[in-house]
Structure 1
Amino acid sequence: PLPLLRDEEVIQAQPDQRGITERYVEESVRFLRENKDQPFFLYLAHMHVHLPHYPPERFVRESENGVYGAGVACIDWAADVLFHELKSLGLDDDTLVIFTSDNGSRVHGEGGSNGPLRATKGTTWEGGQRVPCIMRWPDKIPAGKTCSELTLSMDFYPTLAAIGGAEVPTDRIIDGKDIRPLIHGEEGATTPHDSFFYYKRNAIEAVRSGPWKLHIRKDDQEIGELYNLETDLGETSNVFDQHPEIVRDLMAKIDACRQDIGDDAAGIEG
């Protein structure tokens, strides 16, 4: 087990994993109360539903989907507590809340599911990469709207900086983009990303541009698979041979990316 820290101070050498989420929530509530009169940024990264599963026993007893379902229920409980606290402090209508994940489920019989998406966590198929992202910001984000444009977690940095009136560094490349037009539901707003590259460790395996996604490598083997994600979200119908011009265009993007940041599989240093 890892020690529990506050800032750089170890406050417990071996915390009880089953109670860690409640402690995170308690700390988050304390933070909200201490900063209610000034702008704040709170990042809460849950341990659920990552392995090993240690949900509180009360959620396990109520779960119909084992410890995985109990972990999800615990996350729901945490969200409810924090929303209640924001409302109690009069901050719920003036706080941007973002709920998202870092990767798809392992789907190893543990209760998780990637729905119609292909494969699992640890892969560059959509089941490993595509995750939900839910945002709430009354009067700033249109309620009930959905957005199907491609965005990345890297976009949070420049977007939140712009919202908060901060400047991002100009002495380096920032891969994230400001997605405020998408967040606000502006008419005609589209993804600011021309391409998205899927790396596994230091080797590029796929690229997406618009609806098209080209896979060139899997499990250290070269492949050639092309999918239209608008019509084939599950990546089941390979149309590589039917669209050679699209394959050429996407390969050109891959080659440019390789020269920029490298590709171990191709022997190119970035």
Structure 2
Amino acid sequence: MSPFPLYQGSEIIEQETDQSLLTERYTASAIEFISSNRERPFFLYLAHTFPHIPLFASAKFEGQSEAGLYGDTVEEIDSSLGKIINALEKYSLKDNTLIIFTSDNGPWFEGSSGDARDRKGGTWEGAYRVPFIATWPAVLPSGTASNAAVTGLDLFPTIANIIGSSSHLDNQVDGADIMGVLRDGDSTPHDHILFFNEDQISGIRLGEWKLLVRAYYKTYDVPLAELSYPLLFNLAQDPGERYNLAMKYPAQVTSMMALIENAKERLAIPPAPSFP
């Protein structure tokens, strides 16, 4: 990808940067930030470029994994996180620092979505379900796991509550405080969760039920609900979304469709594109 300028804030600091050094440089900047702010509370958001394509790894990691260049980039990110944690330990900050490691979407051309169906860009679980790991030794229990449905939108209100700034939030903020899930093992704070593709609602999650109303096939955005073929799955019994239960549970489909229609009106969702 060329040209590939590197920014510091809104300023271009290099017109053409060596992408193989990006992970290393991001890590060094993060550690410098921690060092400079170690005497006061801080917030650090580190969004690595890789493993998004085009893939690059530094000379130290290139060719070192058994999963090709993709695996090399993942191993370097793992090393990056280790260095950041070491920096927190160096300044005696680790116990009282909340670290969250997650992703914005499922795998694209490479990587694994596990038992989930499909990948980035789809409407299935493989597109939306991502790793979410949180550690805060002074507050959160270690070695626990949760199946509660939460989203990346929950991070903002959760962190706002932690730092005591939630009074500035209004009821129009997307997301919910998930500290109860992380600390106490609570169930999801959401009554339901909407799934989007661009400006269209593609599905909804209600407890263990997931209803898909739009899907994507080749270049087509297929309006499943409009074609009288919504797809209903029970994710507890069928995490791979293999068997449609819409005909067996029509009342469940009706109630979830009503939530979608209410959301369309509340959010002023524009008309869907024509098909095909």
Q: State the TM-score, normalized to the length of structure 2.
A: 0.91
Of 17, 20, 25, 2:19 maps to 17
Q: Give the alignment of 1:62-211 within 5 angstroms.
A: 62-106=64-108, 108=109, 110=110, 112-167=111-166, 169-170=168-169, 173-186=172-185, 189-211=186-208
Tell me which of 229, 237, 256 is aligned to 1:231.
Answer: 237
1:222-260 CA-to-partner distances (Å, cap 9, x unmatched) read 321100011111101111111011001000001001101
Residues 138-190 of structure 1: CA distance to partner in whole angstroms, max 9, x if unpaired? Answer: 0311100111111111111111011111235345610111111111125xx22
- Residue 57 of structure 1: aligned partner: 59
Superposed, 1:33-48 pairs within 5 Å as 33-48=35-50
- RMSD of the alignment, in Å? 1.5
Which of 254, 262, 266 is matched with 1:248 structurally?
254
Per-residue CA distance 1:186-242 (angstroms, 9 max, x = gap): 5xx221111111111112211111110011122322321100011111101111111
Identity over aligned pairs, percent = 38
Task: Name the SS of the counterpart of 2:141 in structure 1.
Answer: coil
More divergent stretch after superposition (205-214 vs 160-169): 160-169
**Which SS does the other structure have where 1:21 is aligned?**
helix
State the SS of the aligned residue for 1:154. helix
Partner amino acid for 1:204?
Answer: I
Q: Residue type matched to 1:208 in 2?
A: R
Task: String of CA shifts for 1:21-51, please: whole Å, max 9, x gaps.
Answer: 1111111111000000100000000111101
**Cα gap change, 1:171/1:116 in structure 2, threshold over 3 Å: closer, same or farther?**
closer
- Distance of 2:246 and 2:223 partners within structure 1: 14
Q: Which runs of 4+ in 1 moved over 6 A?
A: none
User: Which residue of the partner structure matches residue 221 of structure 1?
Assistant: 222
List alignment gaps of at least 5 residues for structure 1.
none
2:205 alignment partner AA: R
User: In the aligned structure 1, how far is the partner of 2:162 from the partner of 2:38?
Assistant: 18
User: How far apart are the structure 1 equivalents of 2:158 and 2:86?
Assistant: 26
Whether the aligned pair in 1 keeps the contact of 2:57 and 2:72 (CA below 8 Å) is: yes
State the SS of the aligned residue for 1:143.
Answer: coil
Question: How far apart, in 2, do the equivalents of 1:182 and 1:225 lie?
Answer: 29
Q: Give the letter for the 1:207 counterpart.
A: I
8 A Cα contact 1:145 1:185, kept in partner: no
For structure 2, the 5+ residue unaligned runs are 225-229
